[in-house]
Amino acid sequence: MNKRQIIHAAKNNYAVSCQREMLTPYYRSSDHAFNLLHGDTFELLPQFNFKFDMIFADPPYFLSSGGISVQSGKVVCVDKGDWDKSMSQEDVNAFNLKWLSLCREKLKDNGTIWISGTYHNIFSVANCLTQLGYKILNVVTWAKTNPPPNISCRYFTYSTEFVIWARKSEKVPHFYNYELMKHINDDKQMTDVWRLPAIAPWEKSCTKHPTQKPLGLLSRIILASTKPGAWILDPFAGSSTTGIAANLLDRLFLGIEREEKFAAIGKARREEIENPHTYTIYRSKIPDIVKSSENQMKLLECCESNRVESLPFLCDDISL
């Protein structure tokens, strides 16, 4: 074998070793602050041992049953995909219990988890959290300032979603950035009712996920419960809003997404903010980030000096 063949064989052997012992990311930003795995979260979570500071999860709501709504003035079907099809209550409970159990193993002892939902799934989530030993801290009501109209006119317009905030353990204290939340809320204690808009047109620049959450919502969640340098996990990443918000706030991100078309959107969105101008514009469009800038500089000074810059269980990209 000549030198070139030897190098090629070595790279192949290294790639095989990575596949056996480590996970190969679908996408990883050059600074390793944004990491995406493509696959089933139930299969991937047990394959690594790493503890995260915070988890955000937007699991299936199981409400895709042929309903209709209004988007941009047009009547549309609200079915999201096979992953969101209605299931029996027993199956919903089993699903939630399984992923919440796996996620609890990936949280630091003082870590917290946020789960969004509607009445279709949120009660099951709350019961599973309690059953698994989490301590529920708050149930935030996200009151949308621009909800779609109720075209049937037979009941009140749906304008809210719920976000449960829980910590891993009953007795281990969690981090809450009380002073920053108070500052953002005009120096008044922030309540558990958040009046925030749904996603804006500029957030759909790379197309959107059917259940995409606004960057404003994720930014507030991240600011409230983590410090700069924290690692954040999203087991149902979708178009990676969690990761974009995390990186805009100097946090680090691992997302897991089953559908490649959505993982591709997440990749495109992250590449978009590689442009410093776009990065700055995005930060300027999120009110909580604008208000928190001065306070965040103070937090940066007291951030942990031993922050982990890269996930140890991910292979580096290899060009064969």
Q: Which CATH number do you get for residue 147?
A: 3.40.50.150
For 79, left (φ over 0), alpha (ψ -120 to 50), or beta? beta
Q: Dihedral sign, CA of 36, 265, 239, 83?
A: negative
Establish if 55 belongs to a structural domain.
yes
What pairs with residue 139 in β-bridges? 164
Longest dimension (CA), the chain: 76
How far apart CA 61 and CA 163 sit, in angstroms, is: 13
Establish if 307 belongs to a structural domain.
no
b/e per residue 245-269 (b: at least 16 CB within 10 A): bbbbbbbbbbbbbbbeebbbbbbeb
Establish if 274 belongs to a structural domain.
yes
Establish if 319 belongs to a structural domain.
no
Establish if 311 belongs to a structural domain.
no
**Domain count within the chain:** 1
Establish if 315 belongs to a structural domain.
no
Establish if 143 belongs to a structural domain.
yes
End-to-end CA distance of the chain: 17
**pLDDT of amino acid 85:** 60
Establish if 314 belongs to a structural domain.
no
Which domain does 270 fall in, by range? 3-301
From first to last of its 320 residues, the chain has per-residue pLDDT tens of: 554 554 344 444 434 444 446 899 999 999 999 999 999 999 999 999 999 999 999 999 887 555 555 555 555 555 555 645 667 889 999 999 999 999 999 999 999 999 999 998 999 999 999 999 999 999 999 999 998 888 888 989 999 999 999 999 999 999 999 999 999 999 999 999 999 999 999 999 887 778 899 999 999 999 999 999 999 999 999 999 999 999 999 999 999 999 999 999 999 999 999 999 999 999 999 999 999 986 654 554 445 556 788 899 998 754 43
**pLDDT of amino acid 110:** 97
Find how far residue 283's CA is from the centre of its chain: 18
**pLDDT of amino acid 42:** 97
